[in-house]
Amino acid sequence: MNEGQTKEFEIAVEKKKFDAVIDGAYQDPRRSNVQNLDSKKPSDISNSTYVLVKVVRKNDHFHDQKLQPKTQIREEERINTTKEVLADSDAAEHHIKSTKKNGIDGYVQEFQIHKDFSLNLHTEIQIKLISRIPENRRILHVDATGGLISLPKYMHDYGQILTYAMLLKDSTKLQEDGQNVLLNEMSTSRHDSYQIGTMFRLVKHNFYRLSNGKNLKFRVLMSDFSWATIHAALEIFNNNESVTEYSERVYKLSILETQPESTELTWLGSCKSHYA
């Protein structure tokens, strides 16, 4: 985005607070057609009714000019976004999900703060890019890292929050730098197969919506040796295939009774550097 350009977003704002801010608006002394909002006016958060507000943000997230142009500075933006969303969310339970009927709405696709923290982030463009790689060439990498999001304990003591990334590669372009697509980021305090499956299910569902009912398929899913990720992948991408059934399929492949392309189910791989 060039200097001076603007971009419009729609966000969900807690209705009671929104009404209080509007009530506190005052006339701008320099522009007759502008009302200034009193963002410091206190408000009571006591229900879960939200209203959509259009926000105009000047300029997009930036790149570090000292590094390569493709290197995006996302960590500070990710942390600030999370803190802003949580700042006034002290009610017992809040759950925000994108509800656009046609296509995918915005960047925050799922947000939950009770009783576990969960934040799933992707855009419509990210999901549409999946279709540009043929099914038999799609390799999905899934991994988690800590330290990207840290929330003050006075907000809520969730324990360790990890960020799971889903990165898509083309098997014919593995040696080419930059040939990958970040499909989704999920930051969460829950690290079991159910939660990881929720991430997979969300991406699969949104792909279905954007591709006229096509089922999301990957040739290979690579991860660390995480049973939670393995069980989630078998459930969501392999139609609830059990570990035993998958092991039998791998055995048949090893003795050449079957070929990798003879099934539409996903093959699983583990990065050897994670075994130690």
Highest mean pLDDT: which of 65-79, 142-156, 203-217?
A: 203-217
Q: How far is CA 49 from CA 14, 112, 123, 253, in A?
A: 6, 15, 24, 53
Q: Which region among 31-35, 130-134, 193-197 has the lowest average model confidence (pLDDT)?
A: 31-35
Answering whether pTM is above 0.75, one says no
Phi and psi, residue 26, nearest 5°: -140, 160
- In angstroms, the CA 191 to CA 206 distance is 22
Structural domain spans, the chain: 1-60, 69-274
For tokens 């939660």, the residue is: 195
Q: Is 131 strand, coil or helix? A: helix
Q: Report pLDDT digits (tens) over 162-175.
A: 999 999 999 998 87
Q: By mean pLDDT, which of 31-40, 178-187, 197-206 is the weakest? A: 31-40
Range in 151-155, 156-160, 191-195, 200-204 the model is least confident about: 151-155
Out of 74-83, 186-195, 235-244, 248-257, pick the least confident: 74-83
Percentage of the residues of the chain whose pLDDT score is greater than 70: 64
Phi/psi of residue 79, nearest 5 degrees: -65, -45
pLDDT digits (tens, 9 = 90+) for 38-53: 545 444 444 444 445 5
* Chain centroid, CA 143 distance in Å: 13
Q: What is the SS3 assignment for 185?
A: strand
